[in-house]
Amino acid sequence: MSIGGLGAVGALAGLYAWQVEPFWLEFTHIKMPLPNLPTALEGKTLMQISDLHIGDRFSRAYLIDSLKKAQKFAPDFVAYTGDYVTYDSPAQYEQMKTVMQHAVKGKLGTVGILGNHDYGKAWLQPEVADKITAILEEQGVKMLRNTQEVIADLHFTGLDDYWGTNYAPQKIMPSVQAGKANIVLCHNPDVADNDVWNGYASWILAGHTHGGQCKPPFLPAPMLPVRNKRYSAGKIALEDGRTLYINRALGHLWQVRFNVRPEITIFTLKKA
């Protein structure tokens, strides 16, 4: 191929990564075998939405349109796993209110946790996290900050963000009952390697990585904001009975994606 041809291919790839894939949403369908799942919840659906990154860096219309599409699935449960904003200023509060008017709600219940960007600049502004929590609670999202919520016999445990100022899994993990149907929400998947799990042996839903946003075919993503580079995206069986699922994110920090489409995940619950 000529130099001119290579240049044209490169230009097309760049255009695709900038203007196409960041908005090419995928609804990923996954079966979720849960220990101790009540018979009444067999076949119910749980939708995970993560990393909206509402802010000034890309179109909020895409997020609203995506949430409207997600509403059509009418999930039974919805779990939001953090990074609702890319915080630059208090302007994000009003932007967030506008987008989250279209938040997807579960027919049975809706829960959420915070991510590092929800703690403001350098992840050190707890007042930002408190304001974002209040906005989400006003929209019907029950926020879990080292706390647990039981909805229709499904036990959701939410850990506050690993990099934020309120990370305290020791406050809640000892209270998780092994004989119940349990799901833990934690934004940063590196928490899976911390000694905080107290024998927990069920699903963990995380986000944070965006799958690396750009991933060369057949190669690992070169840039991941985690210590454990195994934690990129998708379903990962951990060695002690836990199952980690890392959502690829609905939004993005910067408007570029390649081979890592944005994702909303729909889990179908089944008995383990």
Mean pLDDT of the chain: 95
- CA torsion angle 187 192 196 197 (round to 10): 110
Which pLDDT value is given to residue 266? 99
Q: Domain span at residue 90?
A: 3-271
* Cut 0.75: pTM above it: yes
237: CATH = 3.60.21
Residues 6+ apart with CB under 8 A from 193: 227, 228
Residue numbers of the chain with a pLDDT score lower than 70: 1-12
Which pLDDT value is given to residue 223? 84
Which pLDDT value is given to residue 10? 52
Which pLDDT value is given to residue 59? 86
Number of structural domains in the chain: 1
Which pLDDT value is given to residue 72? 98
Measured CA distances, 92 to 56, 108, 228 (Å) = 8, 29, 31
Which pLDDT value is given to residue 39? 98
Which pLDDT value is given to residue 5? 54
Which pLDDT value is given to residue 13? 76
